[in-house]
Structure formats: C-alpha cells, structure tokens
Structure 1
Amino acid sequence: MKTYRLLIDGRWCDPASDEWFESIEPYSGKAWARIPRGAAEDADRAVEAADRAFRNPEWARLTGTARGALLRRLADLIEANVDLLGAVEQRDNGKPMAEVSGQVRTVAQWFHYYAGLADKIEGSVVPINKPDVFNYVKYEPLGVVVAITPWNSPLALTTWKMAPALAAGNTLVIKPSEYTSASLLELGRLALEAGFPAGVVNVVTGYGPEIGEPLVADQRVAKIAFTGGEAGGRAVNLAAAADFKAVTLELGGKSPNIVFDDADLEQAVKGAISGIFGASGQTCMAGSRLLLHDSIHDAFLERLIAAVREARIGDPALMETQIGPIATRAQYDKILRMIEMAKAEGATCVLGGHSLEGPGYGQGQFVAPTIFTDVRNDMRIAQEEVFGPVLCVLRFKDEADAIRIANDVRYGLAAGIWTQNLRRAFDSVDRLEAGTVWVNNYRATSFTTPFGGYKHSGIGREGGTEAIREYLQAKSVWISTRPNRANPFVLG
C-alpha cells in the first residue's frame, strides 16, 4: 500500500493530525493507498506558503515567457507519465482506462496551450478624454487561488483551473476530493520536478469540513475555483462572499439532448449513448434528458436500447471496457435511490434499473445502464441531477415544444441538437439557455474554447482565453505628461 504525504511549500510533509485514510478501488473494493488527513493547521500552512510565494521575486518577477516555459516543462512531464497518471486515477475513481488515458493526454495539451498564452496577456492604451494625461490598463494576477476539485475527473478538472491560474502568475493550493487525491499528489510531484518555485503549487488532502472550509475562509485567499455539486457550490459562494473573494463555480447539469425528426439517427444514437453512458454518467455535462420528436420516438428508442445492450461493462482497467463502476459507495446508493424514485413517479423503466453483481463486476459497485420513458419534465428524475448512467426520454411535438422543455430546469450547463436543418440548428442555439451547445455531436471539449454554465450550473468560464481572464484583475494607470501643471482634476 502506497502512503502519500501533503505537498506544502515545495516539501512533502505529514499532516498535522498524523492521520491518514484509505483510498478504495471502486472495482475491487480494496484499499490501495493511504491519503493524508489534513486539517485547519495544514490549510493555514499551505495558504501561508502560497501567499509568500506570490510575493517572492523568484515567482513574482518571472516574465510571462518564463512562466510559460515552466508550464511547458510540466506538460512534457505529464506526457512522459501518461501511463502512471492514468493508472493512478483509474484506481481511484474507476473510470475506464480507455477514457482516462485520453483525458491525461489532453491534460498535457491544456498546459501547452496556457504556456503559450502566458506571455500574451496584453493591456491597452486608453484614448483618455483628459488633456496632458497618458492612461493605460494592465492586468495583474489575483494572488492565492484555492482549487477544489471533484472525484469524477480529478486531473482534467484541476488542470482547467491550474493551467490558466499559473499562466496568469497566481499561486495555487489544490484540495482534491477525499475519494480521488492520489493523481493530484502525483501531479504535484511533477510540478516540483518541472521547477516551479516552492509554494507556487501546493496540494493538501482531507475532508471538506476539516480542511476545505478553512481554505475557503482564509482571508489571504483571493479566489476559489470550485467544481462540484450545486449544494457545495452554494456553500463555497456564500463563504467566499464574506471576504469578497472571486469565484469560479462549475456545478451540476440536467442537460437536454434534442433529436429532431430530420436527424441522422445512427449518429444521434451514438451521441445519446456517449452523452449519458460515457464515464457511467458521472459527468456534469451528461445528456441526461433525451428529447425525441414524436415521429421518431419509437424507432429511435428501439435502436438506442439495442445499442446500449451491447455495451461492454466490467473491469475499468481493461482497455475494451466501456462502462465501469460507480466511483463511490455513497454515489452508488444515491443512484439506486433515484431509480426507485423514478419508478414511483410513474416513469417506465425500459432498460436496466438495477445494480449489477456477479463475475466480472468486482465488488458489485455497478449500476446497469438505465433508460426511462413516459417521463414528464416536472418529475424529479427529469429535474434533479442523478450523476449516473440513467437516461430520461421525453417526447416533443415541434421546435417550440423542444426548446420549452429543454429550458424548463434550473440548470443550464450544456445542450445537444441533432438536425440537418441549418436554420433550425442556429435558431435552437440562440434560444437554448446553456453555456455549451453541441450540434450533431455531444460531450466534446477543448482547451481553446470556454466551458461553463447558465443559471444554477455555475459562475465563470474555464477554457480558452476567457479562463485566463478569470485569474486576472485590471489596473488603470494615470500618468501626467506635464507634471508642473496644476492638477486639473482636483476640485477646490
């Protein structure tokens, strides 16, 4: 069993409590690593180190080009350690290796992208409306950033925060989920190897109330970047507001995947499957509500069920596995409760609706891919995020009906449209209340473009040039070009 330690101020150290907890493999149910149980004292040490590093000339006076070189070196190290990072993350959260290995390679691309942006943070000269004054605007880093990340895609979702934050010149304290800490401690090791100065990247682990809450409350922290559930995001936002901290919140979704009657049904079936059953539905952008036009409903459903029945379910360590176990026992139990709730509400379960046990399913933390029909949009199963392999199928009669149903939730993270009608596609994009809209594809992401949600799905954006602006603040500079002249702006 591997024992990990906290990364604080460039050094590996034991938690103040001198306590560890076990990380459990979702597939086997066996403990494989010991994770430090950090507490308030560790949070304080990590923030102190990050705050000191932010003011240290070794980091503060680095040019954007020099920061970019460090990020590029880290990206190269990630590429050289893809197999290790993928194996660690797969053991922690049970996501199929075929998906994890692809995500880790993409992580390296994110760091390369922001390495390139680090020295392209440009200010502006303002054509000011005052005589004899030169005014310009420059952008500066915020300071200490706390990144709080979930268990479903720890490396990817941490990188979405870490890469732009460091490119902008901030320092970082990373607090991973207690369920999936190991891969981020490995990422911290690579950051040290890349040459980041002590205190610029810190990784502290433990439970939310014991170490997460002290990090959020610390007055030296300038920004919280959080990915997780709606309740957690609300708590973070309220706590951060006490000190006017900036926040980026990437929260839940109940995303509609809309198939019109003129869609390429073969491709739309593939998109529907990828949208909800990829990662066992444990993704914020899951297309968990499938909206089908009345005229294609039955035919589409028949194709969909037949395709899902062929899914390869089992050991996530095998490259051929398409659907793995649920990452945590608590989430597994929640999914099964919500399935029973949907049945009680009157939805018809046409596929799955139960757990999977027996040979090939490890310790049994599997939920069968589940499809419900006869779903009304006011049912809880259609309104609440399940975060599992559970699909709700709803009918619609025309475009207006589809958009009404799609927008009738408190979330607005993503949406999908399947149609061959260009006018319909653009019109639907304009009317959907979602931060990302895919047309004739689903669940694609890129470091080059922003990702984030409307309504209860969050605040701010991750990805693209928009993300680096989330970690900068503007400073307006006024220079008098005739210093001997009386100040024309002072009254009295």
Structure 2
Amino acid sequence: MVVKTDRVFGNYLNGRWKEKDQSPIESINPSNTKEIVGYVQNSKAEDVEEAVEAAETASRPWRKLTGAERGSYLFKAANILEERLDDIAETLAREMGKTLPESKGETARGVAILRYYAGEGMRADGDVIPSTDSKALMFSKRVPLGVVGVITPWNFPVAIPVWKIAPALIYGNTVVFKPATEAAVTAAKVVECFADAGLPDGVINFVTGSGRVIGDALVGHEKVHGLTFTGSEQTGRQIGRTAAERGAKYQLEMGGKNPVIIAEDADLALAVEATISGAFRSTGQKCTATSRVIVAEEVLQPFQKLLVAKTKEITIGNAIDDGIWMGPSASEAQLKTVLDYIEIGKQEGADVLCGGERMTGGNFTEGYFVEPTIFSNVKSDMRIAQEEIFGPVIALIVAKDLEDALAIANDSRYGLSASIFTTNIQKMLTFIEDMDAGLVRVNAESAGVELQAPFGGMKSSSSHSREQGQAAKEFYTSIKTVFVKGQ
C-alpha cells in the first residue's frame, strides 16, 4: 500500500508561496519507500531568475536596517522553529532517514544557531585604524555582498541551511536557497519559519528542483555575488570554477575521509564507543563521519574484538520508531553507492569482520537498509581507504607507532576532521600539530563541531574558508575602509 500526502510545497518567491502546474517531485521515505512524504516544485531556470530579481530588489532596504533590527527577525524565526520542532524533526526523519532523536537534536541545533546569529547583529563590524594624518579618522566596516546563493545537501536539511542562511541575513545579505531535492520538504518547512517570522518580501527566496537546472542557473547568475555550497567534491569544484570566472565570492565544503587514531595507551572502551558513534550515527552520512580507523598494532586485537561486538548490538530500523539507533541510507542511489564500495573492498582483498550486506525481509523490505560494516586488513592505498563512501563502512588499518599512524592519516586528498584516542599529552600535542585537518579532536569522535566554532577543511575538503561562529563574517561580508578628514 502506498501512503501519500496531499502536501505540495511551492517555491517561496518575493514573499509568496507559488505552485506551478508542472509535475511536482515526490519525496520518498527511505525507511518505507511506499510512503510519499510530500511534493516540491520541479522548477525551471526562469524561477531562479524571479528569485534573484526579488532578492536584488530587497537587498538595499534590508542592508539599511540595523543589525539589531535584522536580528529581531532571526529571534522570531528561532522561536517559530522551536515551536515546530517536533513536526519538523519527524519530517526530517521520514524524509532523510535520520533517527528521530538525532532529527530532534539537529532541529534544536538550528534553533540555537538562529539565536546565536541574532545576537551577532549587536557585535562590532569594524575597527578604528590609526592614520598618519592627525586631523583624519580612518576606520573599516563590514558590508554585505548583496545576493547570496545557498546550495545545501540532504544529510543535514535543517542545520546546514540554517548555519548558512542565518549569517547571510544578519550581515545584511539577501538569499536564494536551493536545497537538495531528497530533503526539500524538510527545507520548505524551515523556510516557512523564516516566512512566518515576517521577513520583508524578497529577503529569503526558496527554489527547488534539479541541481543541473536550478543550481547551474543560480551559480551562473551575474547578480548573485556570493555562493555557499556543501556537497560533493565534483559539484563543488564546478561551482568554484564558474564563480571564479565571473568574479563571485564562493565558499565550498566538499567532504572528507576522516581518520581516528587509536594509540596503544588509549582507553579502549571510550575509543570504541566514539568510533561507532562517529562512523555509524546518521548511517555514516556525515562529511565528518569516521571512515578510517588507524590502530596501534599492540591493541589491534582487543580493540577489534570490542568494536565488532558493540557494532553487532546496533538496532537498525525505521527512523521514526522507538529504540532505533541507525536508520536507512537516504536514497536508493546512496544505498547503491555503499553496496558498490563494500564489493570493491572485498575485491581489493580486505576482510569483512561484520556486516557487508543489504538488509532485506520483514521490516526492511521496503527500505534502503544496509548493515554497519567493518573491514580489516585494509591497506592505505585501497579505494575503500581513499574514497568517500558516505555510508556505515569503516576500514581498519594497522600502524606501527604514532608517526606511522599520522602518515597514514595524512595519506588522503581530504582534510576535514580527525581524532585521536590517547592518554599521553605529548601524543596529543603531536597529533594536533601534525594532523592535516581543519577540525582535530582529542578523545572524542571525529564527527561534530560546536556552532560557535569555525568549521571547514583543508586540502580537497574545502575552498579553505570557514563556516559557523564569527568566522562566517569573513565570507558573508567585504571590508570597506573609510577615511574621513575634517575641513
């Protein structure tokens, strides 16, 4: 039996929700593919044009508001999002397959991000600079870019849009937001919170549809002065090239192949718990998820034994059911990618310690479920140790000592996050200094960063800019230097 919904979400353009007669795109529940969560617009390039024109028209009056005035809208949006937390979290769980507790946590984080950036409207936006002219005043001030294009992935359909949109708005920009189609119903409900907070017409605009159509039109539009993107490396690089060719500012976050190092003096119980959480929470569908576990050979056997035992205790099922620890892959395409990489690992000669199969039958029949999978005897040059899988698959790699472990950890084109488990202060300091990653964590899982801290990667993980915290100001504004001399 197919469970349908009548809810069709339009584009939000110039302060109005607009639906078109064109065939909408259905959003499928990956826990139960017989359920349709909702429908969104299959938009065209002309819809992007309308959105950008609305954003540009709204840009000048919006930037003329004080930071406190702009912040008041974000406070209202935060309160509305908080009031609707349960509904939005359930939609997230049904649409993307993230478990309900995780979905509630992500939505609550969205509330906190909005409140954080609302407060940014009252912070300093420049510096007084000494002038060589004693009769002059010289200072700098931050000014908005103008229209900012926001392109987000499906794995964090509340948190990532909010942590991009909130700073864009508070620093005086207007926004055109294009979410991933797989999670666009959740994104629409987030946009409803901004709309119902009473933002002026055109300040935030929302367009759904194909990345090839909508994304390309947004990235190439001459009136879009800033582009912020989280997603695949291939798409990010194309966005960067297009933006650079026309002189637009861009910010790219593009994934990782994140290691955790287990030193011989590690607290193994703590290390196993954090490794499982980092690797398998959200079904491994985090850019900061643990995918390589580099273990000192002295503790390989006890660590491996405990890791497998704890992994087999994971409860898997429908994301909205009570007691479920891990949900499905977010889509059929993502499931296929994960299963393909599991086969690649087997063909490369790695050993499957546990998992390695799609889950079928019973409650798994209509969903995209895959077993959490652990490979051993993995070499650093294998594809499963080098390429981002974005699923619940980890590769165990043996290291002789910390120097060897760091060499293996840095043997990657990516440099997003990394962690180490050790009780030795010198090893901690060496890891912090020598690990080539934008986020390094000690005795904590590789996944996760606090909203007030800068977030971003090194090497091919990023365009080397940073999101979140006050670091976001660097991207969403330009510096204007002012020189004033009296008569």
Match of 1:190 among 181, 190, 193: 193
Deviation by residue 1:186-235 (Cα, 9 ceiling, x = unmatched): 11111111111111111110001111100000000011110001111111
Deviates more, 1:60-69 or 1:2-11: 60-69
Partner SS for 2:363? coil
Match of 2:448 among 431, 441, 444: 444
Distance in 2 separating the partners of 1:271 and 1:90: 23
- Say whether the 8 Å CA contact 1:358–1:364 is kept in structure 2: no
**Secondary structure of the equivalent of 2:405?**
helix
Over residues 118-151 of structure 1, what are the superposed CA-to-partner deviations in whole Å (9 max), with x where a residue is unaligned?
Answer: 2213211111234543211111111111110011
Of residues 45, 54, 57, the one that matches 2:59 is: 54
Aligned partner of 1:488 in structure 2 is none
Determine the structure 1 residue equivalent to 2:117.
114
TM-score, normalisation: structure 2: 0.97
1:34 aligns with 2:28: no
The residue that corresponds to 1:44 in the other structure is 49
8 Å Cα contact 1:417/1:425 also seen in 2:
yes
2:485 to 477, 480, 484: 480
Partner of 1:468: 473
Could you tell which deviates more after superposition, 59-68 or 384-393? Answer: 59-68
Q: Give the match for residue 126 of structure 1.
A: 129
Verify: 1:105 aligned to 2:108, yes or no. Answer: yes
Structure 2 distance, partners of 1:131, 1:61, is: 31
Q: Deviations over 1:268-316 (max 9, x none)?
A: 0001001110100011001100010000001100000000000000010
1:394-433, aligned counterparts within 5 Å? 394-433=397-436
Match of 1:314 in 2: 317
Structure 2 unmatched ranges of 5 or more: none
SS state of the match for residue 398, structure 2? strand
How far has the Cα of 1:167 moved from its partner?
A: 1.1
Give the direction of change, closer, same or farther, for the CA distance of 1:387–1:309 in structure 2 (3 Å limit).
Answer: same
Structure 2 CA distance, aligned partners of 1:378 and 1:150?
28
Residue 22 of structure 2 corresponds to residue 18 of structure 1: yes
The partner residue of 1:70 within 65, 73, 78 is: 73
Q: Which amino acid aligns with 1:43?
A: V
Q: What's the CA shift string for 1:80-137, capped at 9, x where partnerless? A: 1101111111111111111111110111000000111122132111112345432111
Q: Is 1:237 aligned to residue 221 of structure 2?
A: no
Q: Which residue of 2 aligns with 1:150?
A: 153
Q: Give the distance between the partners of 1:106 and 1:145, measured in 2 at CA.
A: 23
List structure 1 runs of 4+ shifted beyond 6 angstroms: none
Contact 1:27–1:362 under 8 Å retained in 2:
no
Q: Residue 326 of structure 1: CA displacement?
A: 0.5
SS at match of 1:450: coil
| Match of residue 323 from structure 1 | 326
Deviation at 1:32, TM superposition (A): 2.8
In structure 2, C-alpha distance between the alignment counterparts of 1:298 and 1:225, rounded to whole Å: 44
Identity of aligned residues (%): 39
- State the partner residue of 1:351: 354
| DSSP 3-state at the match of 1:180 | helix
Query: Cα offset for 1:61?
Result: 2.0
Matched letter for residue 421 of structure 1: N
Q: What letter is aligned with 2:10? A: R
The letter for the 2-side match of 1:191 is: F
Contact 2:37–2:185 (CA<8 Å) still a contact in 1?
Answer: no
Specify the alignment match of 1:286 in structure 2.
289
Q: Which amino acid aligns with 1:324?
A: G
Secondary structure of the residue aligned to 1:181 is helix
Cα distance between partner residues in 2 of 1:19 and 1:219: 29
Conserved 8 A contact 2:316-2:326: yes
Structure 1 residue 444: Cα displacement? 3.0
CA distance in 2, matches of 1:34, 1:298: 50
Deviates more, 1:157-166 or 1:299-308: 157-166
Superposition map of 1:180-259 within 5 A = 180-259=183-262
Matched, 1:456 2:460: yes
Matched residue of 1:363: which SS?
Answer: coil
Please give the alpha-carbon distance, in whole angstroms, between the structure 1 residues aligned to 2:136 and 2:266.
60
Q: Secondary structure at the match of 1:7?
A: strand
SS in 2 for 1:476: strand
Please tell me whether the aligned partners of residues 121 and 139 of structure 1 are also in contact (alpha carbons under 8 angstroms).
no
Deviation at 1:319, TM superposition (A): 3.4
SS at 1:29 equivalent: strand
Amino acid paired to 1:21: I
Aligned residues of 2:37 and 2:91 also touching (Cα < 8 A): no
Inter-partner Cα distance in structure 2 for 1:258 and 1:194 = 45
How many Å apart are 1:159 and its aligned residue?
1.0
- Quote the offset at 1:318 in angstroms: 1.4
Native 8 Å contact 1:98 1:321 kept in 2: no
Aligned letter for 1:465? Q
> How far apart in 2 are the matches of 1:255 and 1:116?
33
Secondary structure class of the residue paired with 1:296 = helix
| Whole-angstrom distance in 2 between the partners of 1:29 and 1:260 | 43
User: Aligned-pair distance for 1:360?
Assistant: 2.2
Taking the TM superposition and a 5 Å limit, the aligned residue runs for 1:4-15 are 4-15=9-20
TM-score (ref. length: structure 1): 0.96
2:422 partner amino acid: T
> d(CA) in 1 for partners of 2:474 and 2:120?
11
Deviates more, 1:184-193 or 1:4-13: 184-193
